[in-house]
Amino acid sequence: MRAMLSIKPEFVKKILLGQKKFEFRKVLFKQKVTTIVVYATKPYGKVVGEFDVSNILEDAPQSIWKQTSKYAGVSKAFFDDYYYKSEKAIAIEISNFVTYSEPLTLKKFDHTIKSAPQSFMYLQ
């Protein structure tokens, strides 16, 4: 199964530079997702590439930070703020990122997608 994630452009850049190897979320997929298509949010607003999900970590935020901090791509303060009052953190491990030769608008990527996902959406 494939899913599309909305990711802020500054984090997409860190993924491309190899500085960010984990994407953090508060909610885990209900279906088994093996590939993530990356939508860089506005102001960029384009589908830029995709990656394989090599692992999904789910644990208390402090445990996840200990496991991922080297390649989190975010500061500890940002991480703590994101998971403030959360009992669970999810880290999606990024592998085999493929950048599309031409970034695509949502309409060009799939004409049935009407708007960018708030967090994620499953793809057919």
Report field, pTM of the whole predicted structure over 0.75: yes
- Judged by DSSP in three states, 79 sits in helix
Token digits for 34?
A: 């093996």
Q: Kindly state which CATH superfamily the domain 2-123 is placed in.
A: Hypothetical protein. (2.30.130.30)
Please check whether residue 42 is in contact with residue 8, taking contact to mean a CB–CB distance below 8 angstroms: no
Q: How many residues would you count in the chain?
A: 124
pLDDT of residue 10: 97
Q: What tens digit of pLDDT does each residue of 85-116 get? A: 999 999 999 999 999 999 999 999 999 999 99
Give the confidence band of 124 by pLDDT, cuts at 50, 70, 90. confident
